[in-house]
Structure 1
Amino acid sequence: MSETRVLISGGGVAGPALAYWLHRYGFRPTIVERSPTVRAVGHRLQIEGVGVEALRRMGVLGQARERGSSAPGEVRFGFGGRREVKIPGTSLVSEENGLVIRRGELCEVLYEQVSDEVEYLFDDSVTGLQETADGVTVSFQNREPREFDLVVGADGIHSNIRSLAFGPKERFRRYLGTNLALFELENHLGLTDRMVGRIKPGRGVLLAPFPEPDRLECTILTRDKEPLEDPDRHRRLLKERFAGDGREADHLLSEMETSPMTHMSPTVQIHMDSWTSGRVALLGDAGYCPDPMTGQGSTMALVGACVLGGALARAGGDHRTAFPAYERAMREFVDANHAMGGTHTSLAAPDTGELGLRVMSLLMGLLVGITARTGVTAVMKRAYNFPLADHVAA
């Protein structure tokens, strides 16, 4: 097994997590990352339930908590300025407290965990895959071709490996009917242990605290018939949609314009019938992005890395056995998180008018009350919990 060479494309969260498990099981992982260094920047990640357990099993939960903070205890949604609904934090679904951490900080924690044992190819990317009976010949942008036994695409929603092995991204992207703007600003509301949502017909705002007490992350969502790929057009639409919403909305749009890291994109999921083809597999957002509004992308990547690594270990490196086992184990978990993604976008930017918004607020309050008395819903259990211990190879 020690001679099984696995190339992992992507040095973010999913790639180093898989490299950890593969090295633990005696494989020879190599990570190729297009950035010249570990990307020490990024937006807010909130990791809950089994994602926290995965970090603990990798031995990095302590370091992650030192660089992050606990997840907020509740979310307060205001519907049209008339009614506020308090939703308990999702840490209800697990004995582990949730974690909030900047993406770059988590990437550095994972890099530090594996960099002494795992080969990194920085400042490069894969340009071609040629599969043979014995392996895969991989072509690189800045290096000579090399031979590997397996290739894993852990390179995000715009995965290069997916395009090379499975086809163009348009085949797998599913637009959820909303467009998203994400940026950082000063914590002018003094939020610490809660998130705040402002919901109106066809649009919504979510403000969430960073580990640093003086910073907030703002997510603005609008419901639109088509995905907006042009940032300038997206900005113009936001000004039109939020015109007349008051001083708070004006303040947020002003902060968005000056923020150094504003991210604008359609909300999309990646749906695939299979995440493997021959000797190539996809991991995390590359294969099953759930949409940023779920907050589950990193958790799914951490879980998938554990499952894929364990499947390969149990199969002695034989992908013909390991890859189907990986797919069977992950399918229900992925489907549950995909379902939750559609629900979250419908809540944050509802496709309804003022009357529908009032009904939604009443139903949401009723659902929260029922959940408080009877426990979390079956959907939440499937989306946040996973029998991770069953997939850690001996």
Structure 2
Amino acid sequence: MGILAEVRACDTRMRGTDLVDAEGVKIGELPAEAFAGELEVPKRDLTAILHRLTEDDVQYVFGDSIRTLAQDEAGVHVTFEHARPGTFDLVVGADGVYSTVRRLAFGPHRNFVRHLGMSGVGFTTGNHLGLDHRGILQSEPGRAVYLFSAADADRMTVSLSFATDSPELDLLDRGQQEEIVRASFDGAGWEVPRLLKEMTTAPDFLFSSACQVEMEHWYTGRVVLVGDAGYCAAPPSGMGTSQALIGAYTLARELAASGADHPAAFAAYQYRVSPFVAANQQHGREAVKMLGAD
């Protein structure tokens, strides 16, 4: 894509993760690649790079959502929450695990979203542990604490994960989610009591459940899915952005090579990317277990 050097300049330069016991005593270490992969950059930086490179050629519309999709030989007829309806040659759904495009074109979420038995909350707080491009992981059956600091030396990212059998927790309000987190970490020592207090005032509180998206086909007619919408590998896999970028690049390449034959392009895209997705989803399942899911 011609942007590797610019992306590398935004590397978080993580140096590894310390494994600690219930008292915070170091008992082991994981290499940086365990969480950061070969190259890790903050999402905001990657988004800014991609937007800047494409803003003159792509029409961006923010603060809107698709309401309906209807396909025929002429194209895909789309209505929106705010914008005027339009007809498009193709629709690419790259709108996440709970994809509106997938729901409208393929069916309800329950048919494709597989819960992996873990939920959790993420937020940032002051870096009172003085972490320097390093992480700390405390894991036990049923729950895990992961802390790290990279891009902003003054801030520490907190992840509190716990075993659960329901993905419906994502639909609760923040107050209910906080209560569930506190109950799940009841009795935990080390830094946990302080982290639970700081959670309540965090402006960037985010609750989510680890899940994967499994589909026989990522396309139907003139609609195709990319990234988490079609093949989420679970957030702990650390491969969401990589899958999305590689999937999008492969899809674009196949469309360019096929001319007007989009069915052939869609099939070739899935054929080429499927082995990569299968490996990442296996890694995602293993990562969830490492982070404390039963």
Same fold (TM over 0.5): yes
Could you tell me how far apart the structure 2 residues matched to 1:92 and 1:109 are? 22
Could you tell me how far apart the structure 2 residues matched to 1:317 and 1:84 are? 58
Q: Does 1:285 align with 2:228?
A: yes
| Pair 1:328–1:192, CA change in 2 (3 A) | same
| Structure 2 unaligned blocks of 5 or more | none
Q: Does 1:215 align with 2:215?
A: no
Q: Give the structure 1 partner of residue 90 of structure 2.
A: 150
Q: Give the structure 1 partner of residue 41 of structure 2.
A: 100
Are the counterparts in 2 of residues 78 and 198 from structure 1 also a CA contact under 8 Å? yes
Aligned partner of residue 284 in structure 2, secondary structure = helix
| Pair 1:100–1:221, CA change in 2 (3 A) | same
Q: Does 1:76 align with 2:18?
A: yes
Could you tell me how far apart the structure 1 residues matched to 2:193 and 2:34 are? 33
| Pair 1:69–1:219, CA change in 2 (3 A) | same
1:155 Cα deviation from its structure 2 partner: 1.0
1:174 Cα deviation from its structure 2 partner: 0.5
Query: How does the TM-score come out when normalised to structure 1?
Result: 0.69
Could you tell me how far apart the structure 2 residues matched to 1:286 and 1:178 are? 19
1:92 Cα deviation from its structure 2 partner: 11
1:65 Cα deviation from its structure 2 partner: 4.2
Could you tell me how far apart the structure 2 residues matched to 1:350 and 1:111 are? 37
Are the counterparts in 2 of residues 153 and 282 from structure 1 also a CA contact under 8 Å? yes
Aligned partner of residue 261 in structure 1, secondary structure = coil
Q: Does 1:316 align with 2:289?
A: no
Aligned length: 290
Could you tell me how far apart the structure 1 residues matched to 2:34 and 2:103 are? 36
Could you tell me how far apart the structure 2 residues matched to 1:139 and 1:326 are? 27
Could you tell me how far apart the structure 2 residues matched to 1:115 and 1:274 are? 31
1:100 Cα deviation from its structure 2 partner: 2.7
Query: How does the TM-score come out when normalised to structure 2?
Result: 0.91
1:247 Cα deviation from its structure 2 partner: 4.7
Q: Aligned letter for 1:181?
A: V
Deviations 1:156-210 (A, max 9, x none): 1121111110011111111100111111111111212321101122110111223
1:278 Cα deviation from its structure 2 partner: 0.6
CA RMSD of aligned residues (A): 2.1
Aligned partner of residue 20 in structure 2, secondary structure = strand
Q: Give the structure 2 partner of residue 333 of structure 1.
A: 276
Q: Does 1:234 align with 2:177?
A: yes
Deviates more, 1:313-322 or 1:119-128: 119-128
| Pair 1:271–1:190, CA change in 2 (3 A) | same
Are the counterparts in 2 of residues 60 and 113 from structure 1 also a CA contact under 8 Å? no
Could you tell me how far apart the structure 1 residues matched to 2:14 and 2:97 are? 27
1:79 Cα deviation from its structure 2 partner: 4.2
| Structure 1 unaligned blocks of 5 or more | 1-57, 352-394
Q: Give the structure 2 partner of residue 124 of structure 1.
A: 64
